[in-house]
Amino acid sequence: MGEPAVPLVSTMLWTLQGSFEERLEVAAGAGFRSVQLVGEYAQWSSARLNEVKGLCRSFGLGIDTLLATPAWDSRPVSMVDPAQRENFLNDVRTAICRAQDLGAMHVFLLSGNAIPGRTREEQCDSLVEAARRAGDLAARAGLMLPLEPINSLVDRKEFFLNTCVEGIQMIRRIDHPHIRLLFDVYHEQVQAGNIIQTLKAAAPYIAAIHVADNPGRHEPGSGEIHYENVYQAIKEIGFEGAVAMEYYPRGDPLKILAQSREQFRACWAGTPTAAAANR
């Protein structure tokens, strides 16, 4: 068997400044061929959707991932509250339709914030049921729904699902072929550390990976995470999903994103001296 193919490497547009078109231009200029969205699509008319598709074609970009629940922190769409279940599923249906329109392969899920007064087991039960029903919707569309844990120590203090260790447990309980894990390296480092061991344990369940360093959520090489080793671990587990840069660039976004993209590819090719240029 030969070397595993380099995964799709994209960037999250919300981390960049400027208009939507300007952000697409930066991503394309940095050498990316795909981008990820959060809730940008939620207010798009049919005309705007067609305009965005045209813009992406003009820049040679695809869109590989959307968020299922735009503005999830200000709307009743939590996975851990049964009373919000239908709102959540309606959002998933809309996101799946948009993903099909845009050619995206992933619609990622967020648990939502913990509910005061409810036991953790009650909230886990609700999340499992919500995920299974969403997974059935995704199966009919041929899409994957990665579930993302988010740290509660820095970024989202009320968030329910905080680590990929918990994420593995939930994916096993959900037991649905269209529900997988989104492994965010930054969030896992903030909340729990032990990234490489957890990454390897999660390998059968991971559909997507997000990348940023800690502290500050900046580009790889800016903080404490040894990304050359993390990227090697991603290669060792045979990962075939999407890897997205999701960080705040500390300088020229085009230059820094291009460096990050090349760093990943250099590590994959086994040339760490080239990959370590940012360190």
Q: Could you identify the residue written with the tokens 């948009």?
A: 98
Rounded distance, CA 12 to CA 253, Å?
A: 12
* 184-208 tens-digit pLDDT: 999 999 999 999 999 999 999 999 9
Task: Examine residue 149 and say whether the peptide bond preceding it is cis (omega within 30 degrees of 0).
Answer: no
Q: Where are the alpha helices (DSSP H) in the chain?
A: 20-29, 46-59, 85-102, 120-141, 164-174, 185-191, 195-202, 227-236, 253-269, 272-275
Q: What domains does the chain contain, in order, with CATH numbers? A: 8-278 (3.20.20.150)
Which pTM was predicted? 0.95
pLDDT one-digit tens code per residue, 15-72: 999 999 999 999 999 999 999 999 999 999 999 999 999 999 999 999 999 999 999 9
DSSP 10-37: EEEGGGS-S-HHHHHHHHHHTT-SEEE-
